[in-house]
A and B are shown apart, each in its own frame.
Chain A
């Protein structure tokens, strides 16, 4: 009887086919974003500039998809920083899929890989080093790679390695497989909202442009800011092994994700507000879900643990 080799599951999958699929997806994001900007410009030139209605539709759908990414994909599914009722899990998985940042399992696998190798070879989006280990010397090259260029050529993160817990979740797997339905819904819903708001086809086009296409672009800029800027500029309150930073000025548009140094220091913290001024909308949403009983086991690092990890800037008295 010959010994049968034990199966091996790699961190990344060598597959030209999947790499092409990833690249096509990244190109589709750019094409749709450009189409949205052109559509909005065309409408403005034709005498239909965006008004408060368009801004409201953009803000609403940006927040829906953004919370899906931040509260759902990131803090719940990637880091399991809190537990939530199945309805909440379902809603967040759908909302996050509308952002068109890849399927839930892909997103989780990629982000867990980022934490495993943060700012070291293997990190899909570091301003300092390429995934294959090539150092990025130029500041501009580093910024550009970590901002959006990475999304065109990164390795295929193996969900069978990184996202095993999600494979076991039947409901989540079902939602994952319907990814393109949710992306389409994320375009259809603001189109309908615009049509109802203005009672016209022009309104529908405005809704599609602002609440759908430009909103997808804005959401990508949110995540690209996190992958680049919050590893380049800003304060490092905690001496993490990577170069993550905290950035107040990005905190509102990133829904609290720009407290990225806090996050890398305490990845299982559900709420990233450690000081009074650290505004964290996603954390507020999680706290509200907890109050209503829809979320529990909310990760909050104890103050003394936070204190011992601090390197610089000892907290002032009363700081949370």
Chain B
């Protein structure tokens, strides 16, 4: 269950974005809008796809736009994975 905890999802997301941007994970601000990272639609979809694989569940294609920060998204994902355990 560990990987479904909010803090772990949050760290995992920060890791992924730091990998895309090639910056240290500590430089990834978890409260800024995804727009600010300069992600285009393909990059956003890459994150959604990687998340689906990581959490082993399908996600809305718009999830990054509905929950547009790492903090908000990880809270949302922790909530839906807790509600319907897979």
**Residue ranges of A at the interface with B (Cβ–Cβ < 8 Å):** 1-2, 4-10, 13-15, 17-18, 103, 105-106, 109, 156-161, 164-170, 172-173, 176-177
Q: Does B86 contact A (CB under 8 A)?
A: no
Question: Among A14, A18, A157, A172, which residue has its beta carbon within 8 angstroms of that of B41?
Answer: A18
Interface size class, chain B: 20 to 34
Question: What A residues does B41 contact at CB under 8 A?
Answer: 18
Q: Which residue of A lies closest to B11 (CB)?
A: A4
Offer 16 A-B interface pairs, CB within 8 angstroms, sorted by A. A4-B2, A4-B12, A9-B19, A13-B46, A15-B45, A17-B61, A103-B40, A105-B42, A106-B42, A160-B46, A165-B22, A167-B39, A167-B43, A170-B36, A173-B40, A176-B38
Q: Is the CB of A168 within 8 A of B40?
A: no
Question: Chain A nearest CB: distance from B77 CB in Å?
Answer: 14
Complex: chain B residue closest to A17, CB-CB: B61
Please state if A2 and B2 are interface contacts (CB–CB under 8 Å).
yes
Partner of A164, one of B3, B21, B49: B21
Q: Which residues of B contact A173 (CB under 8 A)?
A: 38, 40
CB distance from A229 to the nearest CB of B (A): 29
The answer to whether the Cβ of B29 comes within 8 Å of any Cβ in the partner chain is no
Contacts of B23 in A (CB 8 A): 168
In the complex, the 5 A-B pairs of residues with the closest C-beta atoms, listed nearest first: A173-B38, A160-B43, A7-B16, A167-B38, A160-B46
Q: A5 contacts B40, CB within 8 Å?
A: no
| Smallest CB separation, A4 vs chain B (Å) | 5
Which of chain B's residues have a CB closer than 8 A to the CB of A164? 20-22
A15 near B49 (CB under 8 angstroms)? yes
| Distance in angstroms between the alpha carbons of A244 and B23 in the assembled complex | 35
- Residues of chain B from 1 to 41 with CB closer than 8 A to chain A in the complex: 2-3, 8, 11-12, 15-16, 19-23, 36-41
The verdict on A170 contacting B38 (CB below 8 Å), with A7-B19, A9-B20, A164-B22 known, is yes
The verdict on B63 contacting chain A, using a C-beta distance below 8 Å, is no
Q: Which residue of B lies closest to A5 (CB)?
A: B54
Query: How many angstroms from the CA of A255 to the CA of B40 in the assembled complex?
Result: 29
Check B15 against A2 for contact (C-beta < 8 Å): no
Q: In the bound complex, do residue B3 and residue A167 qualify as a contact, i.e. CB atoms below 8 Å apart?
A: no
**Residue in chain B with minimal CB distance to A21:** B41
C-alpha gap A51/B43 in the complex (Å): 46
A166 to B37, CA, bound (A): 10
Report Cα–Cα, A9/B54, bound state, in Å.
12
